Amino acid sequence: MMELLASLENSGFGIWLRESPSMWAYPAVLTLHTLGLGVLVGGNAVLDLRLLGWGRAIPLAPLEKLFPVMWIGFWVNAISGVVLFVGDATTKGTTWVFMTKLAIIVVGVVLLRALRRTVYGRGQDAVVETPTSRVLAAASLALWFLAIVTGRYMAYV
Amino acid sequence: MNETLDLFAAWLRGTSISEVIRVSTWLWPVCEILHFFGLSLLIGVAGFFDLRLLGFMRRVPISAAWTLMPWAKAGFALAALTGVTFFVGAPEQYINNPAFYLKVLFLIVANLNAVYFEAIYRRQVEAKALDAAGPSAVKVIAVVSIVSWLFVIYWGRMLPFIGNAF
């Protein structure tokens, strides 16, 4: 495992990402990771706030369109995240902080899919708000906040 | 000018509050987390409103989308407060950093744009006069908002890579 991580980190791409002075290397990937975070966590926050009772005048049905926006943020970050991982594989691949962050993201994605099913699963004409959707909204908001917590913490390991 | 700025940075760094921020092991990382969470709230809620102004999610009345705006302002306040904390803790990392001034420039543009929108359109929004389709001028404001906040993030992210920060 360690050999695999080291070979990733020492690949031409890994070295370029880490050591290139180009703004298109590490800085650009990190910027994309921040933008994706804002779109995913921010789009999610809008839906969660609405489900938790703020902005009640906003009809729920059209908010389903936030899901494609969130998935764009998610995939931008999944891809930029893999790239950042390659550049620092032996450190990130061996720390519990990174494993915790991955676990949080997996749970966050599962919750997001469950949230969509609960609220929009019966079609656009039968959008429902239930106690379950409120719990899922609160949990979702908390999970993506924890993803930021563990993500920032990685800068310190 | 640069000398004055350096003197100011040195004075600020010498204050006891600056030292508290630097010496604490947890304050800086906690502020970073809150800075990113505030950024997300701001981008999410303001971005949602901007997209609505541009014509997405048409079934959402603009007056209804507007009611979430206090959350964007709360996100901004959180990011601004933690941002000021960074500046006070390590002013020398920002005072000669071109990325910092470009970030501040786009912050000013984004905020003036938001203040302009509130000044001119707030009453119409709250009176539900814009719910169907707003005038095309608000679309320009929405685009300026999205672009300027994106540049705020971009130049913020560039702080460690341009100039002398971190």
CB atoms within 10 A of CB A137: 24
pTM of the model as a whole: 0.94
In this complex, which of A23, A30, A41 lies closest to B44 when CB atoms are compared? A41
B122 contacts B161 by C-beta, under 8 angstroms: no
Start-to-end CA span in chain B (Å): 23
> Is A31 in contact with B157 (Cβ distance < 8 A)?
yes
**Token representation of residue A104:** 């949080």
pLDDT given at position B164 = 57
Per-residue pLDDT tens over the stretch A73-83? 999 999 999 99
ipTM of the complex: 0.93
Residue of B nearest to A152 (CA): B33
pLDDT exceeds 80 at position B134: no
Q: Which amino acid is at A97?
A: V
Residue of B nearest to A63 (CA): B57
Closest-CA distance of chain B to residue A3, Å: 30
pLDDT given at position B165 = 52
Per-residue pLDDT tens over the stretch B24-80? 999 999 999 999 999 999 999 999 999 999 999 999 999 999 999 999 999 999 999
> Is A54 in contact with B71 (Cβ distance < 8 A)?
yes
Please state, in angstroms and as integers, the Cα–Cα distance from residue B77 to each residue in A50, B11, B50, B70, B74, following that order: 21, 26, 19, 10, 5
Please state, in angstroms and as integers, the Cα–Cα distance from residue B115 to each residue in A19, B68, B104, B108, following that order: 42, 16, 16, 10
> Is A45 in contact with B56 (Cβ distance < 8 A)?
no
